[in-house]
Amino acid sequence: MESSILRIEKLSHRYSTSWAIRDINMEIGPTGIVGLLGSNGAGKSTTMNIVCGALNQTEGDVYINGVNMKEDPQQAKRDIGFLPQQPPLYMDLTVDEYLRYCAGLRHLPKDKMKSAVKEAKERCGVDHFSKRLIRNLSGGYRQRVGIAQAIVHRPKLVVLDEPTNGLDPNQIIEVRSLIKEIARDRAVIFSSHILSEVQILCKEIRMIENGKIVFSDTMDTFNNYVEPHSVLVHLENPPVEAELLKINGVTQVEFLTERQLRIYFNGEQDITERIVAASVHNGWRLREISLDKSALDEIFKQLSHPSSKQ
Ligand SMILES: Nc1ncnc2c1ncn2[C@@H]1O[C@H](COP(=O)(O)OP(=O)(O)OP(=O)(O)O)[C@@H](O)[C@H]1O
């Protein structure tokens, strides 16, 4: 990949006796959000801690903007912003004090500090809380401050470890749109164990399971790969199962309630149209029909099963 901001080569890490990650290769481009998806304990945090220079790997190499993290960590870290799973916030500092402190840690020159802190606050929507103690901010705003410290030195790569964890649904939506905004002019790695979250946000996906990459491609390819094979249907006047099985392509019918059904099909594209047509023709009174997204989680499970490792 030309002008990649991050290149990981044969990265492995062992904690005392067991390997947490094994032979990870990864390359990501200069802008947009890459989702790092994996269940708890898959190895996401280990990978991200090494990428950000917070943990020394057992084997392999990490290059940030072409600079090897092991050989020149100071230079490599200039281009990285990191929000770990536990945001490194100081509760007794105000937002301004904290961000100035973080900018100092990043060796920002004094004359640039004020404008850098202001820009980070504005981009993260915390400008109006400049003088407030972090302790007195809501979880969503604390997370915004966490993201602000990750971008204060204008890094080319920002790594966010489960940044929406523990937030309420409104806060999640707000933090998501903030992440989208900051990814317009830099690369963002976004880790999560929730497939739908990665699907909403990311243009690319790297799936890690048991310490190995099991899927690595664009989100579109992933979605095509895991195309749903069932639809959820609400019929006010449902027929017996045998009638539904007569529809071309339908392989199985599952009654979830009296009127709600899951209909499995064999990959035919126009199954929805055929169900709608059959419903109109037979008077089944169709109320709702949608592709069954929960089936994606099923395929996610299959992909992450050890036997499907690449
Ligand atoms: N400090 C440590 N010492 C020993 N084992 C560890 C340590 N940190 C993580 N591990 C183990 O390494 C493996 C990978 O953990 P890691 O935290 O990287 O996964 P994760 O995908 O980030 O999971 P989570 O979402 O739960 O943080 C797990 O089996 C974990 O138990």
CATH code, domain carrying 59: 3.40.50.300
Residue 162 Cα: closest atom of ligand 1: 25
Supply the pLDDT for residue 304. Answer: 65
- What residue owns the CA closest to ligand 1's atom 14? 43
Instruction: Tell which one of 11, 12, 15 to mutate to probe ligand 1, the residue whose CB is within 8 A of the most ligand atoms.
Output: 15
Q: Is residue 165 situated within a structural domain? A: yes
**Rounded to the nearest 10 degrees, what angle do helices 169-182 and 110-124 cross at?**
130
Alpha helices by DSSP H, 52-156? 73-78, 95-105, 110-124, 139-151
Supply the pLDDT for residue 294. Answer: 64
If we measure between CA atoms, which residue out of 186, 233, 257 comes closest to residue 34?
A: 186
E strand or H helix that includes residue 219: helix 219-225
Q: Is residue 298 situated within a structural domain? A: no
Q: Are strands 32-37 and 157-161 parallel, antiparallel or unpaired?
A: unpaired
pTM above 0.80, yes or no: no
Looking at the structure, tell me whether residues 214 and 234 fall in a common domain: no
**pLDDT per position as a tens digit, 249-291:** 898 999 999 999 999 888 666 888 999 999 999 999 999 998 8
Give this complex's ipTM: 0.95
Q: What is the Cα 90 distance to its own chain's centre?
A: 26
Q: Is residue 299 situated within a structural domain? A: no
- What are the per-10-residue average pLDDT scores of the chain (310 residues)? 85 94 95 92 93 94 95 92 90 96 90 93 93 94 93 94 87 90 94 87 92 90 75 94 92 92 81 92 94 67 55
Supply the pLDDT for residue 220. Answer: 85
Supply the pLDDT for residue 44. Answer: 93
Q: Is residue 300 situated within a structural domain? A: no
In degrees rounded to 5, what are phi and psi of residue 238?
-70, 145
Supply the pLDDT for residue 49. Answer: 93
Q: Which residues line ligand 1 (CB under 6 A)?
A: 15, 20, 38, 40-46, 193
Q: How far is the CA of 20 from the centre of ligand 1 (A)?
A: 7
Instruction: Tell which one of 13, 16, 46 to mutate to probe ligand 1, the residue whose CB is within 8 A of the most ligand atoms.
Output: 46
Q: Is residue 90 situated within a structural domain? A: yes
Supply the pLDDT for residue 295. Answer: 62
Instruction: State the residue range of the domain holding 100.
Output: 6-224
Q: Are strands 260-265 and 250-255 parallel, antiparallel or unpaired?
A: antiparallel
Looking at the structure, tell me whether residues 108 and 212 fall in a common domain: yes
Q: Is residue 191 situated within a structural domain? A: yes
Q: How far is the CA of 47 from the centre of ligand 1 (A)?
A: 10
- Write the CATH number for 234: 3.30.70
- What residue owns the CA closest to ligand 1's atom 16? 43
Which conformational region is residue 273 in: left (phi greater than 0), alpha (psi within -120 to 50 degrees), or beta?
A: alpha
The 8-class DSSP code of residue 160 comes to: E
Supply the pLDDT for residue 310. Answer: 39
Number of domains in the chain: 2
Looking at the structure, tell me whether residues 131 and 243 fall in a common domain: no
Q: Is residue 251 situated within a structural domain? A: yes
Instruction: Tell which one of 24, 40, 45 to mutate to probe ligand 1, the residue whose CB is within 8 A of the most ligand atoms.
Output: 45
Q: Is residue 190 situated within a structural domain? A: yes
